[in-house]
Amino acid sequence: MWDYLITNTLICLLAFCMLFLLKDSPARLGFYVVITALVAWFIPWHLVSEIPALSESVNPFTENIFSSLLWLQTEQASYVKGAVDSAVNINNATIKGSENFLFDLITWETVFGVFCVFGLILFIKDIVNYHFDLKHWYDFSIEDNSLWEDHNFKKHRISIRILDGCAPGMATGLFKPIIWLNRKNRRSKETETILTHELTHILQNDPAWMWFINFIQRLFWWNPLVRLLAKSARQQIELSCDEKCYQQLHERYSDDLVNILLEEAKAPTQYIATISMASGSNFNVKRVIKLTKEIKMKFKHIVVVMFGFSLFSFVGVAVSQQDESLTKNLTEIENKQQRSARINLYRDNELHNELVDELLQITRLAKSNSEETLKQILVDLAKWNTTRRTGPEQRSESALKTMSFTISCYLLDKLNRYDEIPDSYDVLFPETPIEKALFLKHHVATAYIKMGQPEKALDLMADVIQRQPKPKSGSLSLIAQANLAAANYNEVIAVAEQITESSGNERVKIYALNLKRSAYLAMNKEDKANEMNNILKDTYSVEGSEPKLMGFASPLLPYLTAVN
């Protein structure tokens, strides 16, 4: 939307500059300049850059010109992080509820559309009023086509109607044009001049142009630039008509014009989309003055028009193309921001990233509570594992398999199909026995505990502590849970002590105390269990509870949306 407004604003400013340079040129030339600027408001400039012939020819220039505009690239890029954060916040607010629904609807495009609809209503109102005006004039006027012969005009099919209280002369009608003549000018010495003027308007199709100008002004009623251009276009129509009439009647036309304008200034009349011979007082003075000057098309006028129209096209394509380029740059920066946060997913390799995107697409509904949905994801995931492209390198391939396996564990856990997890590992990692794994060993061990086979979990985790330079609280917690399930309560207490020593995290310490409490309760040592309860209450202000077995972690989970 902004590139559309910027483009047309620049074109309007160029049009006004051209009018200034063309002030001593034929008025019809200036009229076409103004009309071009008005028509530009109907052009979706963001689509023009997609035309290869235009974009390719302009691109080398736009890159050099706009690269120097720091406000368009450097300064805007510095706000990308804030813009990305704002977009994320808006999306989150939309997911949370519908309270911002109205604000989601209010976009620049929506406001623009509403304004245009209102402008169409105003235009329809003008048509209705014009219809009633014509009907009224018909009812209170008489036809007098004899004036053509009286003033030595060629025979015309254009009707002349005599009306009281109107301007000296008016021209209306697209298909059946009519000249309306004030009754007091029916037999005056200026009658021929008035008829010549209005007939010239009709021959130049000015009534149609007036309707077109009125349509644009109504449609863009909110736009001051369009209003100024519309006013200028109407003035250029009058100046053009004056020039044509002066070529026919010479000094007589300028003398009669002064008399007509002075008379009309006493009681000016204006109607919708009608062409009246008289205009505003300041412009009337300009009309008379311009008739005293010699108006001819000069070479410099042709140069101004050609150069100006070239600039119109250049600005239209260049700004929209630069906006597209800027948007692309911002998108790339945004993607880098996002990918830096997903360090466990993406790498500096296009093929790897495409495979990650495919995996995210397949598992996008993994947080759903629908059993059928989860089953289908597992089916699609198994198919993807067998048909997908191989990762670009060994590390990439291993990372992709890890992502796939961990999300499979998460899904199987939700479906209570723990027994399939060990086999799932063997399918994905046939070359690496689970005994030699490290991180993924935790998933299989957790599955064994949930399957009621804690001994297998303990066997699997036997060498984990030795392989870790410093025992991790997660590994220790899993070993403690396996011992608790295997009724090795003294081992649970010993491992819980290790957990407390390995971490300064308050939540981890609470978890370790709950492990001890559960072990003491299982050993019927209620005094020790109560001691653990008192420590939990006095130190951490929490009640003792059953320590829960950790779920199945996956690097994909933070990037999947919650689903009802």
How far, in Å, CA of 172 to CA of 272, rounded? 10
pLDDT at 520: 94
| 403, 555 contact by CB (below 8 A) | yes
| 486, 512 contact by CB (below 8 A) | no
Question: pTM of the full predicted structure?
Answer: 0.50
Residue 510 has pLDDT above 90, yes or no: yes
For each of the domains in the chain, give its residue range(s) and CATH number, in order of start: 102-297 (no CATH), 364-559 (1.25.40.10)
Q: Supply 531's token pair.
A: 């001691």
User: Any idea what DSSP says for residue 21?
Assistant: H
Comparing 320 with 246, the larger pLDDT belongs to 246
Q: Give the strand order in the sheet containing 141-143.
A: 141-143, 159-163, 178-182, 169-172, 275-276
**Axis crossing angle, helix 350-362 with helix 394-414, rounded to the nearest 10:** 10
How far, in Å, CA of 54 to CA of 76, rounded? 26
pLDDT classification of 531: cutoffs 50, 70, 90: very high
**What is the rounded radius of gyration, in angstroms, for the C-alpha atoms of the chain?**
41
How far, in Å, CA of 229 to CA of 220, rounded? 11
How far, in Å, CA of 388 to CA of 472, rounded? 35
Q: Which of 473, 475, 484 is nearest to 510 (CA)?
A: 473
Query: What share of the chain in percent tops pLDDT 70?
Result: 79
Bridge partners, residue 181, by sequence: 162, 169
| 483, 492 contact by CB (below 8 A) | yes
Instruction: Give per-residue pLDDT as tens, 339-397.
Output: 444 446 888 889 999 999 999 999 999 999 899 999 999 999 999 999 999 989 888 99
Q: Supply 307's token pair.
A: 């150069």
User: Any idea what DSSP says for residue 557?
Assistant: G
Instruction: Give per-residue pLDDT as tens, 327-340.
Output: 444 445 445 444 44
Q: Supply 196's token pair.
A: 């010549």
How far, in Å, CA of 436 to CA of 457, rounded? 14
